[in-house]
Amino acid sequence: MIPELTALTALLLTALAEWMHARRVRRVTSLAFGPEGKPREWVWLAPFARALAVAALVWGLVTLFLLDPKVLRPKKSPEGGYRHLVIVLDVCPRCNSATPVLAANRPAPNAPPKSSCRYSAASPSNNAA
C-alpha cells in the first residue's frame, strides 16, 4: 500500500509541476515555438508521459526498498583452490594469417576438472607498422 500511495503522491506533484510549467510556457509561446506559437502535434502527450514515468519510477524504487533482501552465499571453492587458465591470441597485423596453435586437442596430463578452472582470454594488439 505504501508504494502505491507514494507513486500517487509523486504523480500528483508531477502533474502540478507540469501544469505550472504549461502556464509559464503559454506566455512565451511565440518565443518557444516560433511566430505561429504552436508546438508539434505530439507535444501534448509529453506532460502525461513524464508524470506517469515519475510515478512508475517512484513506485519501483519504493517497492525495491521495502522488499526483504535475499542473501546469496557464494559457492565453496574447490579443494586446493582455483586454477586460472589464460589464453592469449597474438595477432600480428603484418601477418597474412593469424592461426593460433592450440593444444586443446591433446588432453593435458593431470588436468583439473573444468569446474575448478577459471578462464580468461586476451588479444594483445600492436598497431605499430
Whether 98 contacts 89, CB under 8 Å: yes
Q: In the chain, what are the domain boundaries? A: 2-66
What percent of the chain clears pLDDT 90, i.e. is strictly above it? 34
Mean pLDDT rounded to a whole number for the chain: 78
Q: Which residues contact 37 (CB under 8 A, 6 or more apart)?
A: 29, 30
Give residue 121's pLDDT. 67
pTM tops 0.95: no
Given a cut of 60, whether residue 98 has pLDDT beyond it is no
Whether 82 contacts 114, CB under 8 Å: no
**For residue 8, how far is the Cα from the chain centroid?**
27
Secondary structure (3-state) at 98: coil
| Residue predicted with more confidence, 14 or 118 | 14
Q: Dihedral sign, CA of 7, 13, 17, 22? A: positive
Give residue 69's pLDDT. 85
Overall average pLDDT of the 84-108 stretch: 58
Cα–Cα distance, 102 to 124 (Å, whole number): 17
Given a cut of 80, whether residue 106 has pLDDT beyond it is no
Cα–Cα distance, 6 to 87 (Å, whole number): 52
